Chain A
């Protein structure tokens, strides 16, 4: 179940992300890595308490230490104002419109996914790419988030089973182990 998107929007999103970062002989694509969950998790960040904006620290537990990334930070009042404005838009609320209206990510995704069309999943790769290229502003927004969801920490919902990091042969976060001086100088 998507957190914020409708099931249909989620399916279009997943197909669009796969078009941007496709499966290949080099590794899995965005769909397998859960990139759509990352985007849906951002759009629905305030469905959680604390909101899923900033993962905790100092370690994830993958290299030892505690699973601190899983404890998301509490937001201060002004942090919440920033992130609600960014995600939900300013919605004519005066405290969010001190520099004018802000179109939120939720509205941009609802509109952008709608424009890709309910039949997007049924198109072949060429057809899907043409739809994405018809709205480069939305494609750019989506690609930035897809890169975060593919190659960012899995606590944010993407990079499932570390598929994104494994595909490019990196460890991701390395605290508290770090690298030895030998590994730094003579790898």
Chain B
């Protein structure tokens, strides 16, 4: 049987494509290498009940995958460091039905108009290959609006003075502000910044047959026990309910077959280890910005830019110790953010010039705390001091922090390729990440770190500490591996086949029925989490394939 589309990956991108295509009457098969803990195996139109408030299961034991013993990745800072300096977890996004949507805490900001036109707005940067996207905010806006309704996004209209124009209101009002955020927001406002309630894909009211979030606090890195997070359970359930979607969990796509510039289907390895071929009229790859180029390389595609321009955000992490409890264990993990450090000001322009840069951009700043006791405990020394530290809890109960998701520029040397020796348990070469932050990222982090610390002091912090990921230490240290999961950019989108891998619809330039529908296609990383933008792009790609229009 030949289906209309095989979709590789069941995360936010693949789920969205499945939703749009099945609504248009297409038959699809969704191939997912991870297990299904998201949908009820007896009725795939209903959510499962496997997720829980369990730090061991989700943080220590790889419940959502990838387990580095089964699906290792390798890392090095540069080619000069040899084949690799690290084997294990690298920029891991869950390997499970639902993909990155399962563990994300659901902050889903849109990009702003400038994010799509860095080259024409700001100009080039040394070392980086800055470029405009082949589409602009206005072209994407109808798809942003559609997927905000599809996922279910809570937000506050007009709260962010820097936001791009919206064709309609947020589908839901914002949820309850976290206590700590009410204080950091007030402090930031006193210093002239513009924090606002984070647009969040967690229900603030019952929505689409799912309940309102009950503030349990196990949000970032956890699956939602009550499925108040809509991404991507909402899209997958709708696709399954059409009867035109088949979901194949624990099934690894090992290669895309092509005949004369047309994709004919996908070779897969099933849960029993048996291989088979899934014939399809279209192949959609939505495996994430590390696994997607890996699959293209495993399939033998030879475009020299496949895997190039990996970006993942340069995180500046600023913590402050408060003389009071911050109650960060209650609520959605992050309820407020600010854009000021993306937009910049006179001081940041001076800092860029002093740092030898024509321009620089920071990133979205998330106001957050720490909630997890095992994570906290491992940061204290063992021995006699341990019980007192845990009880006083300076880095959990009395901590407040900012994480700035700093825009990292597209460097051709930052890339994903196939490791020459390390393999996954099925015998296929592991993805190797080569990543070094550039001067732009360091200058921006050095400028904004102390300013974020000043907000925490204004909030009442007795001490502050600024770190970054990747860290500044030597290339072989574990801190050299970026903590961020915001992987984007390895299958660049553009109009020119010489400088991009896919066209503005996500179709591979010379294989038009092969579509990439995830954050791989990003041209630049912006300073925002990639999810809503990749979902909007996936919806657009699917509508253009099916000849339908956004709702």
Contacts and interface: CB of A to CB of B under 8 A. Distances in A.
Interface of A: 19-24, 26-27, 29, 53-60, 68-69, 73, 76-79, 81-82, 85-86, 95, 98-99, 102, 125, 129, 139, 143-144, 146-148, 150-153, 156, 164-165, 167-170, 172-181, 183-187
B387 A148 contact: no
13 contacts: A21-B382, A21-B387, A57-B52, A57-B54, A59-B52, A59-B225, A102-B69, A168-B397, A173-B54, A175-B214, A175-B218, A176-B214, A185-B179
Contacts of A73: 50
B382 A143 contact: yes
A178 B215 CA distance: 5
A68 B216 contact: no
A58 B58 CA distance: 13
A36 to B, nearest CB: 15
Given A57-B51, A173-B52, 7 more contacts: A27-B391, A57-B50, A57-B54, A59-B225, A76-B35, A151-B390, A184-B177
Interface in B164-201: 175-179, 182
B69 to A, nearest CB: 5
Given A24-B388, A167-B390, A179 B179 contact: no
A168 B390 contact: yes
Interface-centre pick from B177, B178, B216, B226 (highest chain A CB count, 10 A): B216
Contact of A22 (B176, B384, B423): B384
Nearest to A23: B387
B82 interface: no
Nearest to B430: A99
Interface stretch (B100-108, B327-335, B497-505): B327-335
Interface in B415-458: 422-425, 427
Contacts of B378: 143-144, 147
Contacts of B178: 184-185
A107 B468 CA distance: 36
Give me the 7 closest cross-chain CB pairs, A-B, nearest first.
Answer: A178-B214, A173-B53, A57-B52, A181-B176, A58-B225, A147-B377, A151-B373
A167 B215 contact: no
A159 B72 CA distance: 31
B467 interface: no
B195 to A, nearest CB: 15
Label chain B's interface by main secondary structure. Answer: loop
A95 B423 CA distance: 12
A168 B393 contact: yes
B325 A69 contact: no
Interface residues of B, number: 62
Nearest to A146: B382
Contacts of A98: 423-425, 427
Given A20-B383, A77-B271, A179 B216 contact: yes
Contact of A168 (B60, B61, B384, B391): B391
B512 interface: no
Contacts of A68: 49, 52
Contact of A24 (B54, B216, B387, B424): B387
A85 B67 CA distance: 11
B371 to A, nearest CB: 9
B473 to A, nearest CB: 18
B388 A26 contact: yes
Nearest to B87: A99
B25 to A, nearest CB: 33
Nearest to B424: A98
B70 interface: yes
Contacts of A151: 55, 373-374, 376-377, 390
